[in-house]
Amino acid sequence: MAKFFELIKPNHNIEFSGRMNLFLGLSMFLVTLSIAMLPINHFWRGHTLNYGIDFRGGTEIQVAFSGEQDPGRIRAAMQNNGFKDTEVVKIRDAAFPNTFLLRFGAVSQVSEKQVPEVEAALRASIGADSLRKFDFSEGGDKLYLRFNKPVEPAQIAEVLKSKGIKNNAVQRYGRPEDNAYEVILVGLDVEVRSALEKGLGAGAVHAIPSVESVGAKASSELLADGVKSLLFAIICIMVYIAVRFDFRYGPGTIIALLHDAILVMGAFALTYREFSLVTIAAILTVIGYSMNDTIVVFDRIRENASRLRDKKFDRVVNISINETLSRTILTSATVFFVTLAMNIWGTGVIRDFAFAMNVGVIVGTYSSIFVAAPILIWLNERFFKNVGTKSKASA
Amino acid sequence: MERSWVYRVVLYSLLTLVALVFLAPSAATWLGKDDKLPTWMKKHVQNKIQLGLDLQGGLHLVYEVQVDKAVSDKADRLASDLEEKLRKEKKVKQVRAERSGKDEIDLQFTPPTDAARLDRTFLKEYQKYLYEDGRDAAKGTVKLKIDSDYVDELRDYAVRQGVETIRNRVDKLAVAEPTIIRKGTDIVVELPGLKPDDFERVKNLIGRTAQLEFKMQDDGSEYMKKLSGVAVARKSEFPGLEIGHDGWQEKDTGTPHSDVYLRDKDKGELERFLASLSKDDAVPSDHEIGFEQVPAKDDEGTTTPDKVWRTYYLHKRAELTGEYITDAEVNWDPQTGRPEVSVTFDHEGADLFEKASGSNIGRKMAIILDEKINSAPVIESRIGGGRARITMGGFSDPFQLQQEAKDLVAVLRTGALPAPLKKTFETQVGPTLGRDAVEKAKFSMMIGSLAVVLFMLLYYRVSGFIADIAMVMNIVYQLAILAALGATLTLPGIAGVVLTVGMAVDANIIIYERIREELRAGKSARGAVDAGFGRAFWTVFDAHVTNLVAGIVLYSYGTGPIRGFAVTLMIGIVCNLFTSVWLSRSMFDYIVGRKQNATLSI
C-alpha cells in the first residue's frame, strides 16, 4: 500500500458524540456572548455594532491631508463650520499618507434645523406673504420654492447665500404662472473641503478619495433586507438538505447555520469592526460555505447508517465524524489560508470581508461537527427511535 | 476507454481555446496591448470584463422615486378637474373638492342637495380613475377614492419616467459604460470611470426636475436654405455633415410642405458647426435648433439600423409645457391597427392647445424633453376638447411601434406628473483609491493562491499537481465567462475570485481523501479512482448547490460591488464543479488507464 503524507492518521478514534453536552454548552455560551455583546456595546461604545455608513445613515468622507494632522483639530474645524459630532479616524493603509475617515450624520448641506431659518430669511427678503410653498426633501440635495409672484432666481440665490447656503443653480420649473423654483444645492464634499480649509488653512486638503452618503430610510431598509436575505438563504439551504437527505437532517443544518451567522456577527461586535453591506455578504458566503463540511459529515453518516446497522446511531455518527475529519479540516484550511492572506495584505473592504470569512470558516467547521451532528443524534433518539428499531427488525 | 479519453481531450482543448479567445480582449486591455489583437477578434469578440467603479473610480447614485407623491399629485389634479367640471357641466354653484390622505378626494356641496348632481353618469367618465367610497346626503359630502389598479399603474409609470429621464440625461454625458437599473421604486445609477471633477456637474444634471415643452417647427424657412448652403460650403471642415430634405402634405387640403435640415451621425459635430457660425449666419434670436435622433435611411429611402441626429428649426417660444398635460396613454387605432398615443390636457392646456394647433395646421410640433426632441408629429387639424392623438408613423414593425408609443407616453407623463427623485445613496470613488486597492488585492491573491498550490503539491504530490491544474483552469474559465458576459469586476469580485481558488481545491480534497480510503481498503488504483470520484460526486454536488443558493440570494440582495461578488462567486462555483470533477477525472484516467498495475501518487 502506498504511503500518504497525512496530517491526521487514519484509524484514530476521537470521542465526539459522547462529549456532546460539553460542546453544545460551549456553543450556547458563545452564542449568548455574541448576542449579549449587542446591548453591552450599546452602552459601552455607543452602538450595538459598529455599523458602516450603509446601515447607520449619514456621510463618510475620506480626506487626504497635505501634511500631518491632529484628529482633534480636524474635529474642531468641522464643528466650527456646521458639521457636528464628526467621528475622525486615521486610515493606516490608504493610498495617501495622511488620510482620515470623517463620518457624520448629515447627508445634505441643509440640515432640518436650518430649514425654518432659511424660510424666514426668504420671507423677510421677498415678502412675508409671497412664499407659498417651501419644500425640502430630507436627505435630498434640492429645495422647492413657490411664490405668489415672479421672483428673479438671482435674488433667491442671494438670500440663500446670506444664510450660508451655497447653490449650484436656481431654476424655474412647472408652469410660468406657478412661479415655482428648484434650488440645487452644492454637494457635501465641496462643503467639507471648504470647512476644513477654513479651519486648518488653505491647501490643507490634498484630495478627497471617496465620499459615501446614505439616507436614513435607505439605511434601515438595507439592514432589514440584509437580515431577511440571511434568513431566506438559511431556509433555502435547509429545505435543500432536508430533500436531498431526509428531514431529520434539516433542523441540524438550520441551527448550525444560525450559530455560524450569530458568531460571525459576535466577532464583529466584540472587535467593534465596521459592520457593513460587505459583512452581510461575507456572512451569506460563510453560510453557503460552512454547509460544505456539514454535507461531508452528513453524507458519511447516511452511508454508514445503512452499512453499520448493528451499531447505535450515536456511534455511527462518531465513526463518521472521525472518518471524515481529515477532509473537513483540510478543506477548511485551504479557504482559511487564502482568506487569511486577504486579511493580512488586503485593504478596507477586502480586509473586513476576509476577517468575516476567517471567523466563519472556523465556526462553520466547528458547527458541522459539534452542532449539526449532535442535533441530528438528539432528533434521532427523541423522535425516530421506534422507526429505527422497526427497520432493523425487518432487515 | 482510450477512445473516450481522446474525445475528452479534444473537447476540453476546444473549451479552453474558446475560453482563451473570450479572455483575450480583456487581457489585452489590462496589458495595454489592444492594438496587437487580430482584427477578426476585435470585430467578433467585443465583450470585456469591465472594471467596477470601486476599481476605476466613479459615481454610484441611488435615487428613490417618490411614488406616493405621484399619486397624491394626481389626486390633487383630479380634485380640481372635478370641481371645474361640476361647475361647468352640472351647473353646481358651490363645491369644494379636496384631497385627503394619499388617494382620497372629499367633495363638499353647498347646498347639500347639489350632491345628487354627482351621479353615476357623471362619474362614468372617471371610472378608470375613481370610484365612490361613501356619501352623506344630509351633509352634502361625497368621498371618492382612486382605483387601486390605477394607483399601481401611476406608481409604476412614475418609476419608469424616472428611469427614462435619467437615461436621457446620462446619454448626454458620454460616459463609457453607464448602468441604470430599476430596483423596486429605486433607480440605481452607476457611472464608472467618471472623473472626480465631473461628479458635481453630473449630480446636478441627473437630479434636476425634467422639463417637457412643445414647440412649433418653422418649416420651409429661408434661414435653413441659407444654412444648408453654408454647410455645403464648409463640407471640408465638417465632413460628417449632410443636407436632408423632408416633405409631407396637409391631410385635408393637400397643401405640400417641404423643409431642409442638417443631419450628422455625430451630434457633437453638428453642435460645433452651429457654434462656429458667423454673426450673419447665426440662428435668429426668436428661433432655435432642436435635435432628434432618427434611424438613418439609405439611398433608396429604407431605414437602416444606424442612427443619425437631425435638426429642426423651431420657434423659440414654447406653445405649451408638460404641466398642462393631465394624462397620456397608448391606444390602438382600430382602422389602421397601429398604436397611437392619446394626450389629455387640463382646461387651460386645452385652450392653449386649440389655439396653437389651429394656427399651425400642417406644421410639425416638436415634443421636447430635456432639450432633446422625442417626436415631432404633424398637426392635421385644429384640436379642441383637450384631447390630442399622436399617430405613430414610420415603417417599423408593430412591436417596435408599440415600444415607441410606450416611450413617448413615459415622456409625456414626465411632464404631467414629475415624481420627485430623492437621492438616498451616494458613493464617490476617486481613481487613486481603486488603483491602490487593486494592487493590494492582487498581492494577497498571489500569496493565498501560492500557499494553496504548494500545499496541494506537498500533500498530494502528482494528484495535487492535477488539482492545481484544475484550479488554474477554473480561474481561466471563470474569467472567460465573466468576459463573455461583459460582467463587471469589483473589489469584492476579486475577493470572489480569490475565494474560488480556496474553494476550488476543496472538491479535489474531498475526492482524494475518498480515494485514499479506497486504497487503504485494498482497492487497485483504478478501482479506487472510480470509487472515489463516483462516491464523492454527490457530496461535492450538494456542497456546490448550497454555495450557489447563498450566491443567488446574495445577488438578489446586493447592489453594485456586492452584486459583482455574487456573480464571480456563482460562476466560480459552476466552473469548479466542471474542473474539479470532470477535468481532473480525465487526467486521472490518463494516469491509471494505461497500465494494469498503475500506482497513484496521492
pLDDT band at A109 (very low <50, low <70, confident <90, very high): confident
Other CB atoms within 10 A of residue B6 CB? 10
Q: Does residue A37 have a pLDDT over 50?
A: yes
Contact between B450 and B471 under an 8 Å Cβ cutoff? The reply is no
pLDDT of residue B556 exceeding 50: yes
Query: Which amino acid would we find at residue B593?
Result: G
Distance CA B316, CA B223 (A): 14
Those residues with Cβ within 8 angstroms of residue B209's Cβ, 6 or more apart along the chain or in another chain: A173, A182, B418, B420
CB-based contact A334 B516, cutoff 8 Å:
no
On the question of pLDDT at B414 being above 70, the answer is no
Cell of B582: 470532470
| pLDDT band for position B417 (cuts 50, 70, 90) | low
Residue A82 has pLDDT above 60, yes or no: yes
**Which residues of A fall within a CB distance of 8 Å from B459?**
5, 7, 330
Task: Flag whether pLDDT at B465 surpasses 80.
Answer: yes
Residue A135 has pLDDT above 80, yes or no: no
Q: Is the pLDDT of residue A392 over 50?
A: no
Write out pLDDT tens, residues B231-244: 888 888 888 888 88
DSSP three-state, residue A141: coil
Whether B477 has a pLDDT exceeding 90, the answer reads yes
DSSP B390-455: EE--SS--HHHHHHHHHHHHHHHHHHH--PPEEEEEEEEE-HHHHHHHHHHHHHHHHHHHHHHHHH
Please tell me which of A2-16, A359-373, B80-94 the model is most confident about, judged by mean pLDDT.
Answer: A359-373
pTM of the shown model: 0.74
Query: Tell me, what's the pLDDT at B456?
Result: 92
* Mean pLDDT in residue range B153-166: 82
pLDDT tens figures, A143-201: 778 788 888 888 888 888 877 777 767 877 666 666 778 787 777 888 888 888 888 88
> Strand B488-489 relative to strand B421-429: parallel, antiparallel, unpaired?
unpaired
**Residue appearing with cell numbers 457611472:** B191
- ipTM for this model: 0.82
| pLDDT top residue among A188 and B398 | A188
CA atoms within 13 A on the CB side of A15: 5
Instruction: Pick the range with the lowest mean pLDDT from A352-366, B169-183, B315-329.
Output: B169-183
Strand partners, B332: B339
Percent of chain B scoring above 90 in pLDDT: 14
For chain A, the straight-line distance linking the first and the last C-alpha, in angstroms and rounded, comes to: 35
Q: Is A229:B556 a contact under the CB 8 Å cutoff?
A: yes
Residues of A in contact with B502 (CB under 8 A): 334-339
Of A57, A50, A51, residue with least CA distance to A219: A57
Long-range contacts of A123-129 (CB under 8 A, 24+ apart): A125/A155, A125/A158, A125/A159, A126/A151, A126/A155, A126/A156, A126/A159
Environment class of B257 (CB within 10 Å of its CB; exposed 0-12, middle 13-18, buried 19+): middle
pLDDT interval class at A298 (50, 70, 90): very high
Within B486-580, residue ranges assigned H as helices are: 491-520, 525-557, 560-577
Contact B448 A342 (CB under 8 A): yes
pLDDT of residue A85: 81
Region A320-346: mean pLDDT is 90
Q: Is B189 helix (H, G, I), strand (E, B) or coil?
A: strand
N residues, chain B? 602
Average pLDDT over chain B reads 83
Mutate to test the interface with A, among B515, B557, B568 (most CBs of A within 10 A): B557
User: How near does any CA of chain A get to the CA of B39, in Å?
Assistant: 38
**Is the minimum CB–CB distance between B524 and chain A shorter than 8 Å?**
no
Instruction: For residues B409 and B329, give the distance between their C-alpha atoms in angstroms, rounded to a whole number.
Output: 6
CB contact under 8 A, B509 and A174: no
| Mean pLDDT, residues A358-373 taken together | 93
* For residue A209, cis peptide bond before it (omega within 30 degrees of 0): no
Taking CA–CA distances from A227, the nearest residue in chain B reads B557
Query: What is the pLDDT confidence band of residue A41, given thresholds at 50, 70 and 90?
Result: very high
| Chain centroid offset of residue B262 CA | 30
Residues 97-126 of B with CB under 8 A from A: none
**Residue B1: pLDDT over 70:** no
Is the pLDDT at B48 greater than 70? The verdict is yes
Contact indicator for A372, A298 with CB cutoff of 8 Å: yes
The mean per-residue pLDDT over the stretch B533-562 comes to: 88
Domains annotated for chain A, with CATH where assigned, are 8-49+216-387 (1.20.1640.10), 58-108+190-214 (3.30.70.3400), 115-186 (3.30.70)
A218 alpha carbon, distance to own chain's centre:
14
User: At which residue does the C-alpha cell 449632410 appear?
Assistant: B242
Which of B104, B88, B106 is CA-nearest to residue B96?
B106
Residue A294's pLDDT is 92
Task: Give the orientation angle of helix A348-367 with respect to helix B431-485, to 10 degrees.
Answer: 60
Q: Is the pLDDT of residue B284 over 60?
A: yes
Q: What is the mean pLDDT of residues B552-570?
A: 85
B503 in A contact zone (CB under 8 Å): yes
Question: Which range among B327-331, B375-379, B391-395, B397-401 shows the weakest confidence by mean pLDDT?
Answer: B391-395
Identify the weakest region by mean pLDDT among A2-16, A362-376, B575-589: A2-16
Average pLDDT over residues B573-597: 84
- pLDDT at residue B27 greater than cutoff 70: yes
- Give dist(CA B478, CA A287) in Å, integer: 22
Q: Which residues from chain B sit within 8 angstroms of residue A210, using beta carbons?
A: 427-430, 433
Least confident of A309-318, B5-14, B423-432, B513-522: B423-432
Specify the pLDDT at position B416.
Answer: 58
A218 vs B447: CB contact, 8 Å cut-off?
no
**Cβ–Cβ contact B359 with A under 8 A:** no
* Predicted local confidence at residue B110, as pLDDT: 84
Residue A389: predicted pLDDT: 42
The more confidently predicted of residues B515 and A135 is B515
The helix or strand, by DSSP H or E, that contains position B7, with its residue range, turns out to be: helix B2-31
CB contact under 8 A, A182 and B445: no
Query: For residue A206, is pLDDT > 50?
Result: yes
In chain B, % of residues over pLDDT 70:
94
Tell me what the mean pLDDT of segment B11-32 comes to: 88
- Strand B339-345 and strand B325-332: the pairing is antiparallel
Distance from CA of B179 to the nearest CA of A (A): 19
Of B165, B153, B160, which Cα lies nearest the Cα of B184? B160
What value does the mean pLDDT take over residues B566-582? 91
pLDDT at A138 over 70: no
Asked whether the predicted pLDDT for residue A1 surpasses 50, the reply is no
Q: Do A345 and B447 touch (CB under 8 A)?
A: yes
pLDDT at A391 over 60: no
Provide the sign of the torsion angle of the four alpha carbons B291, B293, B298, B302, taken in this order: negative
A18 secondary structure, DSSP code: G
Distance from CA of B272 to the nearest CA of A (A): 25
Please tell me which residue, A384 or A237, carries the higher pLDDT value.
A237
Per-residue pLDDT reduced to its tens digit, B343-393? 888 877 888 888 888 888 888 889 887 778 888 888 888 888 888 888 776
Residue of B nearest to A336 (CA): B502
pLDDT at A388 over 50: no
- Per-residue pLDDT band at A359 (split at 50, 70, 90): very high
Contact status of B565 with chain A (Cβ, < 8 Å): yes
- Hey, is the C-beta of B520 within 8 angstroms of any chain A C-beta? yes
pLDDT exceeds 90 at position B467: yes
